[in-house]
Amino acid sequence: MMNNGRYIVQKIKGSTEIRQMMGDPWCRKKSSELRNYHKNYQRETWSKLLGCLGHEGLQSTWVVSDEQLQSELRVSITAVVIPAYRSFMGRFSQYMTAGRQTEKYIKYQADDLETYIDELFDGNPASGTRKRP
């Protein structure tokens, strides 16, 4: 819906005839819908990921008792997540220049994620809830 809505709004803004025919109230309504699609997309996708990356995320609720299994899981997760995250950061680092509040957009570096992964499956006694996978 976000892609389709953006396409429609862009076509209308690019054509005086269509904009006049549809009217400004209709155009404003479509622009408002587009902003809502954007907010919904962001909330439904990225907020879940960000919730997992925080200290209160997954590492505080999942426990694996067997130390060897913990280690194997951490290694396999690190092997998948860290290269993908570094690749992502590499692709978009050109857009993140110093002094542009990059910390606002990039909260964790790859080393931070490795530290969090190293703490996975220990559980957090203070949380009071533990799940076993």
pLDDT in tens, 67-114: 888 888 889 889 988 998 998 888 877 777 666 667 777 788 899 999
Could you state, in order of their start, the residue ranges of all structural domains in the chain?
1-53, 60-124+129-133
| Residue among 101, 117, 102, 104 nearest 53 (CA) | 117
Q: Which residues contact 106 (CB under 8 A, 6 or more apart)?
A: 89, 96
pTM of the model: 0.48
Residue 114 has a pLDDT of 92
For residue 29, pLDDT over 90 is answered with yes
